[in-house]
Amino acid sequence: MSIAIADSWTELDLDAMGAKARLIGFDLDNTLARSKMPMHDDMASALAALTHLTQVAVISGGRYELFVRQILTVDAFRGDAAYANLHLMPTSGTRYYRFEDGGWRLQYEQDLPEADRMAARESLERHARELGLWEAHTWGERIEDRGSQVTFSALGQQAPVDAKEAWDPDNAKKNALRVAVAADLPHLLVRSGGATSVDVSGRGIDKGYAVRELARILGIGVGDIIFIGDRMDPNGNDYPAAQAGVMPVRVHGPEETLEVVRRLTGILRG
């Protein structure tokens, strides 16, 4: 199902969306923060303030440990956020954490069988080499087994942000790898992830699954959720949330996200 998504948040009626919303969801990398980097203090403060006004979810392809580093340990966030209203969904929503009894507790997980994870790792490496995407120099782990998701990062997990953003600006490299791996693994979901990554997970387990599950758990409609992300194109990993029926907001980096958060905060306070 094809979804028409505004290219800029300035084209949207945020007043109407904010009045309807019962939860505001976010992608993490290049939405709340630059890839693998902690949120800036202004974003952290704005997001913390938002948690006092409504339910907030973060749904990202990254592992839980990145949520801790990029969000939870940022001083401007951890001292002010209303954790009871915060929902953390790492690895594209295949895991879900809530704050209970003084800590973050795993609510569910959707791990892949070991045989599927091994097949995903083999296919990703083989096709990356065939396509000339197996770079000679990388920063950190290139293929990461996240249990519920296997992720290929062309430049390594710890690559500098500038190098990541310059590697595949038109997404052609990632899309070629995605198509090749998907042909090997038709029973699994293969999606373009972040700036240099391709993710393999269970079919039907994506950000669309995540927002539907969250809506069910909270007793709200998927259409009552605003979801904000930078990868709202049909090959992007935020697009399934739009297909599920959320109110989608496309942003082009954390600076735009901050503007949207401040605007929604004003609407909710009003």
What is residue 155's DSSP assignment? T
User: In angstroms, rounded to a whole number, what is the distance separating the alpha carbons of residues 50 and 71?
Assistant: 14
What six digits make up the tokens of 21?
A: 């919303």
Is a pLDDT exceeding 80 seen at residue 2? no
**Catalytic position from the list 7, 15, 29, 101:** 29
pLDDT of res. 204: 83
Which homologous superfamily is 114-202 in?
Eukaryotic phosphomannomutase, cap domain (3.30.1240.20)
Which of 79-88, 102-111, 193-202, 242-251 is predicted with the least confidence, judged by mean pLDDT?
193-202
List pLDDT tens digits, range 63-119: 899 999 999 999 999 989 999 999 999 988 889 999 999 999 999 988 899 999 999
Query: Which residues 6+ apart lie within 8 Å of 58 measured at CB?
Result: 25, 26, 27, 28, 32, 67, 71, 86, 87, 88, 89
Q: What does the domain layout of the chain look like in residue ranges?
A: 9-110+205-269, 114-202
**Residue 195 — very low, low, confident or very high, per pLDDT cuts 50/70/90?**
confident
CA–chain centroid gap for 236, Å, is 10
pLDDT of res. 1: 62
Give the CA distances from residue 268 to residues 45, 49, 76, in Å, rounded to whole numbers and listed in that order.
16, 11, 21
**Residue 263 — very low, low, confident or very high, per pLDDT cuts 50/70/90?**
very high
Q: Is residue 101 among the annotated active site residues?
A: no
pLDDT of res. 221: 98
Which parts of the chain fold into alpha helices (H)?
A: 14-20, 41-51, 64-67, 75-78, 114-130, 161-167, 172-184, 207-218, 239-244, 254-269
Is 206 marked as a binding-site residue? no
Is 27 marked as a binding-site residue? yes
Is 13 marked as a binding-site residue? no
User: In angstroms, rounded to a whole number, what is the distance separating the alpha carbons of residues 142 and 150?
Assistant: 11
User: In angstroms, rounded to a whole number, what is the distance separating the alpha carbons of residues 37 and 35?
Assistant: 5
CA-nearest of 209, 258, 196, 243 to 89 is 209
Q: Is residue 27 among the annotated active site residues?
A: yes
Is 170 marked as a binding-site residue? no
User: In angstroms, rounded to a whole number, what is the distance separating the alpha carbons of residues 48 and 31?
Assistant: 15
Query: Which residues 6+ apart lie within 8 Å of 247 measured at CB?
Result: 17, 20, 21, 223, 225, 226, 227
**Catalytic position from the list 7, 13, 15, 27:** 27
List pLDDT tens digits, range 218-237: 999 999 999 999 999 888 88
What six digits make up the tokens of 139?
A: 């920063």
CA-based angle 131:135:137, to the nearest 5?
175
What's the CATH fold of domain 9-110+205-269?
Answer: Rossmann fold (3.40.50)
User: In angstroms, rounded to a whole number, what is the distance separating the alpha carbons of residues 132 and 147?
Assistant: 27
Is 230 marked as a binding-site residue? yes
